[in-house]
A = this chain, B = another copy of it.
Amino acid sequence: MRNDLYIKAHYGESIPRYPVWLMRQAGRILPEYRAVRQKLSGFKELVETPSLAAEVTLQPVDILGVDAAILFSDILVVPDAMGLTYEMIEQRGPFFPQTIRSEQQLTLLDENPDVLDRLSYVFEAIKLTKKELNNRVPLIGFAGAPWTIFCYMVEGKGSKTFSESRKLLYTNPQLAHELLERITDFTIEYMRQQQLSGVDALQLFDSWAGILGHDQYTEFGLKYVHKIASAFRGFPFTIFSKGAVASLPEIAKIESTAIGLDWNMDIQETRNLVGETRTLQGNLDPCLLYAKDSIIVKETNKLLDSFKSQRHIVNLGHGVYPDVDPEKVKILIKTVKDYEIKYN
């Protein structure tokens, strides 16, 4: 690997500068992405066409100079492969014509979906990307955490409260656990095949972690995050539980090489929880990229100065917002690259 800063950071090895990449860097903000996208019938066509998924995965490496590529895909390929198909509606988001809110509806899922067959397009995209990356930077694979996938399978669409999904935790906790178990088992298989196809690291996105109270997130969220993370012990693995500020002490106990932090999570407090046993990823406010250049430089340097350890990967605290100017991202990346680590 010519640039292995991202991997070294996961293991706490000595690095001359911090690695930097952006969640949602593949897609959204790049005109080169939109040029690919507008030739297609829809978002799912892009996700399911390996050559195109590989192409847009590589764009931010070439154009923005990030230290890692992340596969262009979607967390909802998992429920899709399990038998619950979704549509991606422009300007509105995902929509599942059928949802799972009863034992009866659980039969909508296929009994033993073959991950290799169902998600072959993902593994093909990984192989193509790895080939074209030619070891320039590592490739990150990912999946949604079971609680977040559960939210979509029960609610059927995005929501501010996901009250249908949370309702099930009270009305039928047994069914909730059964569904979460099935998502977990399939996700482990899925991430395993990503690993075998060549990804250099994995990240688990628990986007809706923050809507559960502490005890429910422990029971219905972290239990399954723990099971997945344990299956990849020793491999570069990031847990990102957005919004779960109150659960950081429990997240700190789950074995993984890295923890993703949103912009509400305090870096020093998390460092105190994990010591030097974990790498912390994040946590700039995505809105910083709307500021003028000098503010981006100043705030990024402020973040870098706040690090008291080598074990950091610079990123936003959430996916980059769609209307951000790519030139602003370049300012952020240059600032990180210009900054020399003092803790060697």
Chain B residues with Cβ under 8 A from A287's Cβ? Answer: 163, 166-167, 169-170
Chain B residues with Cβ under 8 A from A158's Cβ? Answer: 160
Check if A321 is an interface residue, CB within 8 A of chain B.
yes
In Å, the complex CA distance between A290 and B317 comes to 33
Chain A interface, number of residues (Cβ within 8 angstroms): 33
Check if A88 is an interface residue, CB within 8 A of chain B.
no
In Å, the complex CA distance between A212 and B318 comes to 13
Given contacts A245-B245, A246-B245, A246-B264, contact A213 B285 (CB under 8 A): yes
Check if A254 is an interface residue, CB within 8 A of chain B.
no
In Å, the complex CA distance between A158 and B160 comes to 10
Check if A227 is an interface residue, CB within 8 A of chain B.
no
Q: Which residue of the partner chain B has the closest CB to A292?
A: B171
Chain B nearest CB: distance from A279 CB in Å?
Answer: 21
Q: Which of A283-309 contact B (CB under 8 A)?
A: 285-288, 290-292, 295
Q: Which residue of the partner chain B has the closest CB to A302?
A: B215
Check if A216 is an interface residue, CB within 8 A of chain B.
yes
Q: Which of A10-41 contact B (CB under 8 A)?
A: none
Check if A133 is an interface residue, CB within 8 A of chain B.
no
Check if A185 is an interface residue, CB within 8 A of chain B.
no
Chain B residues with Cβ under 8 A from A245's Cβ? Answer: 245-246, 264
- Could you tell me if A264 and B213 are in contact, using CB atoms closer than 8 angstroms? yes
Q: Mark A253-272, 1 if CB is under 8 A from B, else 0.
A: 00000000001111000000
In Å, the complex CA distance between A243 and B243 comes to 9
Check if A210 is an interface residue, CB within 8 A of chain B.
yes
Check if A161 is an interface residue, CB within 8 A of chain B.
yes
- Could you tell me if B246 and A171 are in contact, using CB atoms closer than 8 angstroms? no
Q: Mark A239-258, 1 if CB is under 8 A from B, else 0.
A: 00001011000000000000
Check if A214 is an interface residue, CB within 8 A of chain B.
yes
In Å, the complex CA distance between A213 and B318 comes to 12
- Could you tell me if B246 and A290 are in contact, using CB atoms closer than 8 angstroms? no
Q: Which of A128-150 contact B (CB under 8 A)?
A: none
Chain B residues with Cβ under 8 A from A171's Cβ? Answer: 290-292
Chain B residues with Cβ under 8 A from A290's Cβ? Answer: 163, 167, 170-171
Chain B residues with Cβ under 8 A from A167's Cβ? Answer: 287, 290
In Å, the complex CA distance between A243 and B213 comes to 11
Task: List 9 A-B pairs, minimum CB-CB distance, nearest first.
Answer: A170-B291, A167-B290, A166-B287, A213-B263, A245-B245, A170-B290, A163-B321, A167-B287, A246-B264
Additional 20 contacts, C-beta under 8 A, given A163-B286, A163-B290: A158-B160, A160-B160, A161-B318, A161-B321, A163-B321, A170-B287, A170-B295, A171-B290, A171-B291, A171-B292, A210-B243, A212-B264, A213-B263, A213-B285, A213-B317, A214-B266, A243-B243, A245-B245, A245-B246, A246-B266
What is A's interface to B at a CB cutoff of 8 Å?
Answer: 158, 160-161, 163, 166-167, 169-171, 210, 212-214, 216, 243, 245-246, 263-266, 285-288, 290-292, 295, 317-318, 321, 323
